[in-house]
Amino acid sequence: MANPLTFVRPFRPDQIRSILLVQSGPVGLMLRVGERLRSMAPGCEITAVVREDHREAVLAGGFDHVIVVRWEDRLDVIRTLRERRFDTVAVLMSHHGSDYLRVLPYLLRTRSVLAFNDNLDSFPVHVARAGTLVLHVSGQRSAAGLVRWAAGRTVLAVVATAVLVVAVLRIEIRAAWRRARA
């Protein structure tokens, strides 16, 4: 888990030496963010974490290191990345792309998390931007979408539980009826 101070400390761009760029959006946006990071922090070591199906596009992106992630290997990748400390983790705040890599920046040890939107605007993820962070992690576009998503999940959970309880009761009643008949 990221250090809670990561989200309270001020962002210090002059202290950046290593950056981890996580592909939580389209690969084209990731390549543009990589170029933006090179211009923001020249001379920094940039490591990219990409999905397996975008390996070829990213290898030509000029990153110092590329880590390819498959869904099955995601826990091993987290363990490997936690062995190293990055000054900044850059994350794409796009509504398209990889859901399973959205939470990765918040599981690693880092001094700061830098978020980029589709227009290449960036801001440090800070406690004052908690609402934006919730929208990013949930993958929703607006607060209303987030409320609809949460209500839908709640209704789905209640309905699924009710269906399972009814199914189990039906099985138990039929079994008791068969035992009584035999």
Residue 3, pLDDT score: 60
pLDDT value at residue 167? 95
Collapsing DSSP states into helix, strand and coil, what is residue 25? coil
Q: Which amino acid is at 133?
A: L
| Phi, psi dihedrals of residue 87, rounded to the nearest 5° | -70, -40
pLDDT of the residue at 4: 59
Q: Looking at residues 9-35, what average pLDDT do you find?
A: 83
pLDDT band for position 178 (cuts 50, 70, 90): very high
User: Longest Cα pair distance anywhere in the chain, in angstroms?
Assistant: 81
- Mind giving me the DSSP string for 55-117? HHHHHTT--SEEEEE-GGGHHHHHHHHHTS-EEEEEEE--SSS-STTSSGGGGS-EEEEEEE-
| Interval 167-180 mean pLDDT | 94
Element (H, E) at 160: helix 143-181
DSSP symbol at 168: H
Arithmetic mean of pLDDT, 29-57: 86
Q: Whole-angstrom Cα distance, residue 37 to residue 63?
A: 11
> What pLDDT digit, counting tens, does each position of 45-94 carry?
988 888 888 888 787 777 888 888 887 887 888 888 888 888 888 888 77
